[in-house]
């Protein structure tokens, strides 16, 4: 049995009932065999960034997992597919997008997975919810760098 690792996963959606999809998916990520939900962020509404379509609903969960990072990625992609995720072109609108942001202290650079996520420190829709679940990781300076990106906490 592998030693458990703490990982953070970003969730986003902007098609269908995006809010409900993200809320259900937060629980579903914690329900993956070999994973346990430790914390969930608030929900955030953001305009698409380098993408198209309606506003996104975004969140982050912190989990404990004994899955390898590639196995976790595969399980997340299965959840995306179950939610009707299609990839017709780069940054297309999506029913569900799940990204591994952090996997313990691990650094992975493969054709299929890069951890830490390479663009997370430049995205308000990642940093704000990440600060909810891992406050010591996100500094006030990090949030200042993305302050021009519109983001709001959803009620």
d(CA 55, CA 95): 12
- Token pair belonging to 136: 């010591």
Give the β-pairing of 114-115 and 56-65.
unpaired
Element (H, E) at 143: helix 140-145
Give the residue numbers marked as catalytic. 85, 94, 97, 99
Look-up of token digits 């021009």? 148
């Amino acid at each position: 049995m592998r030693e458990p690792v703490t990982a953070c996963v970003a969730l986003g959606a902007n098609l269908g009932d995006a809010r409900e999809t993200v809320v259900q998916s937060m629980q579903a990520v914690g329900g993956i065999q070999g994973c346990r939900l430790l914390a969930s962020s608030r929900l955030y509404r953001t305009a698409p960034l380098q993408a198209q379509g309606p506003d996104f609903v975004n969140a982050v969960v912190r989990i404990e997992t004994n899955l390898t990072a590639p196995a976790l990625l595969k399980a997340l992609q299965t959840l995306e597919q179950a939610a009707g995720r299609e990839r017709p072109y780069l940054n297309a609108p999506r029913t569900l997008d799940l990204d591994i942001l952090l996997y313990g202290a691990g650094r992975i650079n493969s054709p299929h997975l890069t951890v830490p996520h390479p663009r997370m420190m430049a995205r308000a829709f990642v940093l704000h919810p990440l600060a909810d679940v891992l406050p010591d990781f996100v500094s006030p300076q990090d949030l200042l760098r993305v302050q021009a990106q519109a983001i709001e906490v959803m009620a």
